[in-house]
Amino acid sequence: MAREEPKDPAGQVGDVEAVEQLTASYQRICEAMHRVIVGQERVIEELLIAFLCRGHCILEGVPGLAKTLMISTLARTLSLSFSRIQFTPDLMPSDITGTEVIEEDKSSGTRQLRFVKGPVFANVILADEINRTPPKTQSALLEAMQEHQVTAAGFTHKLPAPFFVLATQNPIEQEGTYPLPEAQLDRFMFKVLVGYPSEAEELEIVRLTTASEEVNVDRVMGAKEIRQLQEIIRRVPCADHVLRYAMRFARWTRGVRSGEAPQFISDYVAWGAGPRASQNLVLAGKARAILRGRFWVSTEDIRAVAHPVLRHRIITNFNAEADGVGADDVVDRLIKEIPPDEADGIDEAMSRRVFAESGDGARGSGCVPEPRL
């Protein structure tokens, strides 16, 4: 007799059913987004993957590519609050996190301090042109991104859940900017590159934006469903050989320091990715598998998310600059050099059973035994 998917006492659906609903919701989210955004399928998918993994993103692209519109539309589609913070050289940390003001009680004449929340108290935060503000203000986001809280005057204020930071950068103008330090770059799960549209896409953009018709965006899901899905993502089974495959991407970028890398890493890479890259590769692979209706992670999922996870964590040296080799070129070479395991993938019925059992009270690592050849 087939094992029934467990139901939550509070009436929530089981994990397998929730994943099937997410796969259908993903298509609805894409359809709603494409009513406003033309093209950019890869960018939208990478944003959703990072969001489901509780990660944060850097979006890099020239002006006029609808980065702000894309993020605000995503927030509306998911029924989440949205705040845009325009980073400027004179922006102060309190302008982001909030500040205390003196409030007088007119009836008693007493005064007391009251904390006024800043724009960071929202579900989706757009940090527009984050590299145009000094490091003191940039660091104000660190605690919010990592701990999901803000500390002011000795008091801790929790941020709403889910919490998602998307920072934009302009790759053209570098005068008067403050590049993010590596420690803060590493806290962003993805660096997403937003490219120019194709000729057909640009024609559709011009047609839509010069017409008088107003496009309404459907709300697909809410904060409660998103928080449940974020928990489910971490329970997706991942075989040990896939974990090792993801680790090789991070370890090989460290060159002679890891003792495992090929020669081109030593020639072109000054500093490689840390353990956080391995974690993000696996998490992003889990989310990508779920969005495609699968209950297990394959090495193909790891390869698909390698560029956004690693491109801002690899620091190339002078030799790479002289030869025109960038971080994405290094990742391309890694994908070719690192061999996928022959035992790629596991039995679908087995993965579905393991996944259902992990949601039935077991909260382990989400790993499964090695598949048999």
Q: At 52, which CATH number?
A: 3.40.50.300
- Looking at the domain assignment, is residue 345 inside a domain? yes
Query: Which pLDDT score, from 0 to 100, does residue 308 have?
Result: 93
- CA nearest neighbour of 173 among 60, 296, 291: 60
Query: Which pLDDT score, from 0 to 100, does residue 233 have?
Result: 84
Q: Does 158 lie in the same domain as 39? A: yes
Residue 223 CB: number of other CB atoms within 10 A?
15
- Owning domain of residue 204: 15-89+121-225
Q: Does 211 lie in the same domain as 261? A: no
- Looking at the domain assignment, is residue 6 inside a domain? no
Which CATH number covers residue 271? Answer: 1.10.8.80
pTM: 0.81
How far is 71 from 19, CA to CA, in rounded Å?
24
Q: Does 197 lie in the same domain as 141? A: yes
DSSP secondary structure string for all residues of 23-71: HHHHHHHHHHHTTTS-S-HHHHHHHHHHHHTT--EEEE--TTS-HHHHH
Q: Does 287 lie in the same domain as 215? A: no
Tally the domains of the chain.
Answer: 2
Per residue of the chain (373 residues), give pLDDT as tens: 444 444 443 334 566 777 777 777 788 888 888 878 888 888 888 988 998 888 899 988 888 777 888 888 888 888 888 888 888 888 888 888 888 888 777 777 777 777 888 888 988 889 888 888 888 888 888 778 888 888 877 788 888 888 889 988 888 766 667 888 888 888 899 999 888 888 888 888 888 778 776 777 778 777 888 888 888 888 888 888 889 899 888 888 887 555 567 788 888 888 888 889 999 999 999 999 888 888 888 888 999 999 999 999 988 889 888 888 888 898 998 998 887 765 454 545 555 555 555 555 444 444 444 433 3
Q: Does 130 lie in the same domain as 31? A: yes
Query: Which pLDDT score, from 0 to 100, does residue 280 have?
Result: 92
Q: Does 291 lie in the same domain as 182? A: no
